[in-house]
Amino acid sequence: MIKKINHIGIAVSSIDQALKLYTGVLGLNLKTMEVVESQRTRTAILPVGESNIELLEATDAESPIAKYLEKFGEGIHHLALEVADIEEALGEVSRCGLPLIDEKPRAGVEKTRIAFLHPKGTGRVLLELVQS
């Protein structure tokens, strides 16, 4: 079911500030920057081998990222796992009894389809399924 780690999502207060570390110090290249209106986030994608780092910045105070930052501060937000067929993967994890945040896929960055599994069922790790 899982093809690879698609990305690691990192919540940041400011993408512009975070890029000073990731591009300036670590030498990663910025692939794309995108606002996902439905999730009220601004994202930056930085490739690392076959995977990516996804920086996430809230675009308003009601954004899930704003609430995460308020509660936990900056840091790793989620682990995204790439799947070939997101509907099939959601059905499989649901049949196994894992609670879902998203019962149906929604639009993600770079024209992907995504769905989150609830951390209550994954050992407190927020997992995202991604279909490219």
Q: Give the mean pLDDT of the chain.
A: 97
Q: CA–CA separation, 116 vs 38, rounded Å?
A: 14
Sheet holding 41-48, edge to edge: 32-36, 41-48, 51-58, 2-11, 75-83, 127-131, 113-117, 106-107
Q: What are phi and psi of 90, to 5 degrees?
A: -65, -40
Q: Report all structural domains of the chain as residue ranges with CATH numbers, in order of start.
A: 2-131 (3.10.180.10)
Q: What are phi and psi of 112, to 5 degrees?
A: -90, 170
Task: Categorize the per-residue pLDDT at 130 as very low, low, confident or very high, splitting at 50, 70 and 90.
Answer: very high
pTM of the model: 0.96
pLDDT at 72: 97
| 16-63 pLDDT, tens digit each | 999 999 999 999 999 999 999 999 999 999 999 999 999 999 999 999
| 51-106 pLDDT, tens digit each | 999 999 999 999 999 999 999 999 999 999 999 999 999 999 999 999 999 999 99
